[in-house]
């Protein structure tokens, strides 16, 4: 129970990696606020989490700055504090570089970068009180320059940039700010693997560990570590939770 009594906000946690992190943290004793635009899946995940911890809640988010401030206030009013902020939510569309549009950049930045930035600002005062942990998300798409991922890569690398800045500024406050860059077998990847089995097999064979990470057991456990006291001397780092695919 490494997170016993801790309070965390996890964005994009109705499904996929966010859900895996929420379950992993709940099983370690954390109170979780599921923040997601998908109300149906969010409430399903809430039921799963409530089997492991009392007092979890679902908050619908539409990624507006004023909503972010209200969410932090709601969580603190319910639980009395905030210890953990996980900025996982992000949406994007792929296209070749010369076909990438400003709308694609707007989608990626408005659902990924700006909510991450806004949540960090809104949560700062509470995290300073608790000497809390921030976990943001990057991607090998940005670190390695994945083709067709210009808008997503740009937003993810921008998130890495502000993470390092916050780690330097907030270190004296006792706040740790780190990044996870994952590869995971989410629901969407499973569907893609069924539709394109040869491409999926090629991707898996390019991973030294020869498998994709499990959202809860692999990515979630990494998030638990970064949210726990065990990571107190780690900040500003990118944790490549990708089976060895990229070596920084």
Question: Per-residue pLDDT tens for 63-95?
Answer: 678 889 999 999 999 999 999 999 999 999 999
pLDDT of residue 192: 80
Active site residue 114: no
Which pLDDT band, with edges at 50, 70 and 90, does 62 fall under? low
Q: What is the pLDDT of residue 214?
A: 94
Considering the candidates 124, 152, 200, 233, report the single residue annotated as catalytic: 152
Say if residue 116's pLDDT is above 90.
yes
Residues 6+ apart with CB under 8 A from 211: 185, 204, 243
DSSP string computed for 78-106: HHS---EEEE-------B-GGG--HHHHH
- The kind and range of the H/E element at 204 are helix 197-205
**Least confident segment among 168-172, 208-212, 243-247:** 243-247
For the chain, the structural domain boundaries read 7-241
- The Cα 153–Cα 162 span in angstroms is 14
Q: Per residue in 176-233, pLDDT tens?
A: 999 999 999 888 888 888 888 888 898 899 899 899 999 999 999 999 999 999 999 9
Provide CATH code, domain 7-241. Answer: 3.40.50.720
State the first-to-last Cα distance of the chain, in angstroms, to the nearest integer.
31
């Amino acid at each position: 129970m490494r997170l016993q009594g801790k309070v965390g906000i996890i964005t994009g946690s109705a499904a996929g990696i966010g859900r895996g992190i929420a379950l992993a943290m709940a099983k370690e004793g954390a109170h979780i606020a599921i923040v997601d635009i998908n109300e149906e899946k969010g409430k399903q995940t809430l039921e799963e989490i409530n089997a492991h911890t009392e007092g979890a809640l679902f908050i619908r988010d539409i990624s507006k700055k004023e909503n972010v401030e209200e969410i932090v206030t709601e969580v603190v009013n319910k639980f009395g504090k905030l210890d953990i902020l996980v900025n996982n939510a992000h949406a994007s569309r792929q296209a070749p570089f010369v076909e990438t549009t400003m709308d694609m950049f707007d989608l990626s930045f408005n659902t990924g970068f700006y909510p991450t930035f806004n949540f960090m600002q809104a949560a700062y005062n509470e995290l300073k009180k608790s000497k809390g942990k921030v976990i943001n998300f990057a991607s090998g798409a940005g670190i390695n320059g994945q083709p067709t991922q210009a808008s997503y890569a740009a937003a993810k690398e921008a998130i890495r940039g502000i993470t390092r800045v916050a780690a330097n500024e907030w270190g004296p406050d006792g706040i740790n700010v780190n990044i996870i860059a994952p590869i995971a077998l989410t629901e969407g990847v499973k569907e893609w693997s069924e539709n394109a089995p040869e491409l999926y097999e090629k991707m898996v064979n390019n991973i030294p560990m020869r498998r994709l990470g499990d959202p809860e057991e692999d990515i979630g456990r990494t998030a638990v570590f970064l949210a726990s006291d065990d990571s107190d001397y780690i900040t500003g780092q990118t944790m490549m939770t990708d089976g060895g695919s990229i070596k920084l």
